[in-house]
Structure 1
Amino acid sequence: MAKLILICGKLCSGKTTYAKTLPGVSLSVDELMLSLLDPYLGDMHQVYTARAKAYLFQKAEELLSMGVDVVFDWGFWKAEERKNTREHFARLGHTVELHYLKIPGDVWEARIEGRNQAVLRGEVQAYQVDENLRSMFESLFEPPEEGDIDHFITI
């Protein structure tokens, strides 16, 4: 039976780098959206994010039904999203694992600065993390409970 891996972690914690080390097809909301849309969507960002996730859910269902492992490379910041995703795919008969990347604050700050500089130089296709995004993240992120984590990775 194919497996779905949910990658949970803060912005700039290394989720995409980690996802690339795992077997299976990596599905990334950021990759999809940055390939198709302007990175500065304002109030529409959440609308397009929800649409991208719905599309990637469909792709994951197709791949898993063919026996292909899938890695969801997005933050899973909220406990409810993690729970709903796990339950949805478990109902379809798939194994679901949560991999949590925990990053110390000083390392996190350095990575945000490094990513922002790389974006400005055009070296990476990623979202620049400004104070608004950082503040939004701080107010939204709910670290997973220990019992919900299948693989704990400390950065």
Structure 2
Amino acid sequence: MPKVIALCGKICSGKTFYANKIKEEKNAVILSTDEVTFYLTDNEQGERYDDFAKRVNEYLMKKAIDIVRAGANVILDWGFWSKEERINLTNYYKKYNIPVEWHYVDVTQEKWQDLIKKRNELIVSGQEKYSFYFDDGLKKKLLDSFNEPSKEEMDIWYINK
């Protein structure tokens, strides 16, 4: 039976890379909050990003039901920073008898710093238009909000080396 594959991980941990890596083998459609918000707002949402992203996520969660019912897997490519978000998503799809498979994209501190540096360089050079510049404010927001999942919460623990 098709399922929802939910990716959990920090900003810039390699979730999108991982999603693209597994989409063919999983016969999956990737639904990405960042992709939609950048496309619709040209990265101009500013302080309203959290509200806008919440609405986008709600829409994508509903759209995932249609895709699963059509016979394909869905990869939700957003971070699921809190345990509450992860529980809520699992319970949401339970109501529709849709299984959720949780994948955590883990990254070492050294690799994470390298990925942040590379992303920021690509953004500054204009080669990357659909990612956030990872500044100290965004890093603080992440570190204040991110709850690393337990091994028991996840079905797959992928280490981005």
Is the TM value for this pair above 0.5?
A: yes
Find out whether 1:104 has 2:108 as its counterpart: yes
- The one-letter code sitting in structure 2 at the alignment partner of 1:4 is V
What's the TM-score once normalised by structure 2's chain length? 0.92
Q: 1:21 is paired with a residue of what secondary structure?
A: helix
Q: Mapping of 1:50-89 within 5 angstroms?
A: 50-89=54-93
2:126 pairs, out of 122, 128, 138, with 122
Give the equivalent residue in structure 1 for 2:13: 13
Q: Per-residue CA shift, 1:82-131, capped at 9, x if unaligned?
A: 11001111221111111001111111111101100101111122111110
- The one-letter code sitting in structure 2 at the alignment partner of 1:111 is L
1:145 pairs, out of 130, 143, 150, with 150
- The one-letter code sitting in structure 2 at the alignment partner of 1:7 is L
Q: 2:123 is paired with a residue of what secondary structure?
A: helix
**What is the root-mean-square deviation of aligned Cα atoms in Å?**
1.0
Distance 1:17 1:42 in 2: 25
Per-residue deviation, 1:41: 2.4
Distance 1:43 1:85 in 2: 25
Percent identity at matched positions? 33
Distance 2:45 2:91 in 1: 31
Distance 1:28 1:38 in 2: 15
Q: 1:72 is paired with a residue of what secondary structure?
A: strand
Distance 2:10 2:139 in 1: 10
Q: Per-residue CA shift, 1:12-32, capped at 9, x if unaligned?
A: 111001001222000000001
Q: 1:49 is paired with a residue of what secondary structure?
A: helix
Per-residue deviation, 1:80: 0.5
Find out whether 1:133 has 2:138 as its counterpart: yes
Unaligned runs of 5+ in 2: none
- The one-letter code sitting in structure 2 at the alignment partner of 1:63 is I
Give the equivalent residue in structure 2 for 1:44: 48
Unaligned runs of 5+ in 1: none
Per-residue deviation, 1:42: 2.6
Find out whether 1:28 has 2:32 as its counterpart: yes
What's the TM-score once normalised by structure 1's chain length? 0.96
